[in-house]
Amino acid sequence: MEKTDQMVFMLYSSNWMDLSPKFRKHLIILMQMTQEFILAGKQIPVTLATFMSAVKAIYSLLTIMNPSE
């Protein structure tokens, strides 16, 4: 994990803004692919979809538990 963090930092710190748009696009894709995935319980990857599902479920539960006046 430390090596991938170092690689992303080195790529981002390079002079990539002066390179061609195609190369910049590939560089951004590479940096995104090397990022660490967040795991819930070291088993389930937390994506935006799973995070939003959890937020909606918690909001629904809190709404049911705390009825308005």
pLDDT tens for 22-40 read: 888 887 787 677 666 667 7
Give pLDDT, residue 68.
67
Q: Are 50 and 27 in contact (CB under 8 A)?
A: no
Give pLDDT, residue 36.
60
Find the length of the chain.
69
In the predicted model, residues of the chain with pLDDT beneath 50 are none
Give pLDDT, residue 65.
83
Domain extents in the chain: 1-36, 38-69
